[in-house]
Amino acid sequence: MTGRAYQVMDVFTGDRLAGNPLGVVLDGSDLSDDAMLKIANEFNLSETIFILPPDNPAHKARIRIFTPYHEMPFAGHPTVGGAVAIALRDGIEDAIFVLEENIGPVRCAVGSGHGAKFAEFSLPKLPEPAPFPISREQAAAALGLAPQQIGFENHLVSAWNAGVPYVTIPVADLEAAGRAKLDATFWMELTGGQTGAPAPAAYVYCRQTALHDADFHCRMFAGHVGLVEDPATGSAAAAFSGAVMHFDKPLDGTLVRWLEQGVEMGRPSRIRLSLEVQNRALTEARIGGHAVMVAEGRLFV
C-alpha cells in the first residue's frame, strides 16, 4: 500500500512554522471532486491543492484548490506554494511555466535565494471594483472599532475583485489593526447574507508596519466562511492592488510594495506586490513570496 505523496508547505515565508500552511497532494489525477473536498477537510488547512496533468501539454500542471468547504477558482498562496512544490518535485532550480487554475492559465516564475525558493505569478485577472458598498461606520461596527479609526490619508473603504472579492478597509495605525475583530454575523448581513466563495472577506490594512522593510500591515478576516483569520492571502493582495492604484495613484513604471500579514497570529508573512503602470493605468500585477516544505508523507486514499 504505497499511497500518494503529499507535502505541507509554509508559504510567503522563508521560515518554517511561519507564513500560511498549504496542503499539497502531488498527484490528484484519479480523485473525484468529493474526495478532494474530503481530503481538504482532513488536512483542515485554509487551502489544499491537488496537482494534475495539464489540459494543454505546453503547460506545467493543472491545480485545483479546495478549502475545507468548497473549491476556489483562484488563490494566491496555493499558486506560490504549488509552483514551489512542483519545482522541488521536479528538481527545477529556475524556470517560468504556466499552471492551469479554474480561473484560467497563470504564468509563474520560480527561483532560488536566501535558503528558500521564491515564486511569483502574474495575476490572471486585474482588479475591478466589486459591488459591496460598505460605509465607514458599518466597517467600524463590523470590526469593533470606532469610526474615526477607519481610513487614513485619502484611503477609504472600498471593494475589489481580482478573482476573489474583498472589501479593503484602511485603518489608522497598528493599534487599530491589532484591535480589529470581525463580527461574522453582522458581516454576512452587510455583504448580503452570502456564504461560500462569492462572499467577500474583510482585508484590513494600514501604512504603519511592524517590520522595517514592509510598506503595509495587513490582516484578512473570513469568519463568515469558516476562516477566522488568514496569516497570508495572495488573492487579497491581488484585490488590494486595486486600492493601491485607486488611492495612491502611482506614476508610470514598476511599483513594488511589500505587505506584512500574520503578525498578530504569530505567523509573520511577507508578500511582494509588483505593479506595472502605463499611462497611469495598471497593465500587469504580480504576487510573489518564498515557500518552504515543512512536512511530507503518504496519503492512503
DSSP type of residue 125: S
159 and 29: one domain?
A: no
pLDDT given at position 137: 98
**Rounded mean pLDDT, 241-247:** 98
116 and 168: one domain?
A: no
Q: Assign 74 to helix, strand or coil.
A: coil
32 and 114: one domain?
A: yes
- Residue among 137, 201, 202, 204 at smallest CA distance from 173: 204
178 and 248: one domain?
A: yes
Active-site residue flag, 47: yes
113 and 133: one domain?
A: no
Structural domain that includes position 234: 128-287
Task: Please pick, among 42, 47, 100, 120, the residue that the annotation labels catalytic.
Answer: 47
166 and 274: one domain?
A: yes
Torsion angles phi and psi, residue 187, rounded to 5: -60, -40
pLDDT interval class at 196 (50, 70, 90): very low
- Write the DSSP assignment of 6-54 as a string of letters: EEEEEES-SSTTSSEEEEEES--TT--HHHHHHHHHHHTSS-EEEEE--
What is the percent of the chain where pLDDT is above 90?
91
Mean pLDDT over the full length of the chain: 95
The β-bridge partners of 116 are: 113
One-letter amino acid for residue 104 of the chain: G
pLDDT interval class at 112 (50, 70, 90): confident
How far is CA 176 from its chain centroid?
A: 22
- Tell me if 298 sits within 8 A of 36, measured CB to CB: no
100 and 180: one domain?
A: no
**Rounded mean pLDDT, 129-157:** 97
- Tell me if 189 sits within 8 A of 134, measured CB to CB: no
> Which CATH number fits the domain that encloses residue 63?
3.10.310.10
273 and 196: one domain?
A: yes
Kind and range of the H or E run holding 188: helix 184-190
- Give the global pTM: 0.95
Kindly state the cell numbers that stand for 301: 486514499
| Domains contained in the chain, number | 2
pLDDT interval class at 195 (50, 70, 90): very low
174 and 281: one domain?
A: yes
**Rounded mean pLDDT, 21-42:** 97
15 and 162: one domain?
A: no
pLDDT given at position 1: 62
93 and 133: one domain?
A: no
Distances (CA, A) of 174 to 94, 134, 171, 179, 211: 37, 22, 8, 9, 11
**Rounded mean pLDDT, 108-132:** 92
270 and 167: one domain?
A: yes
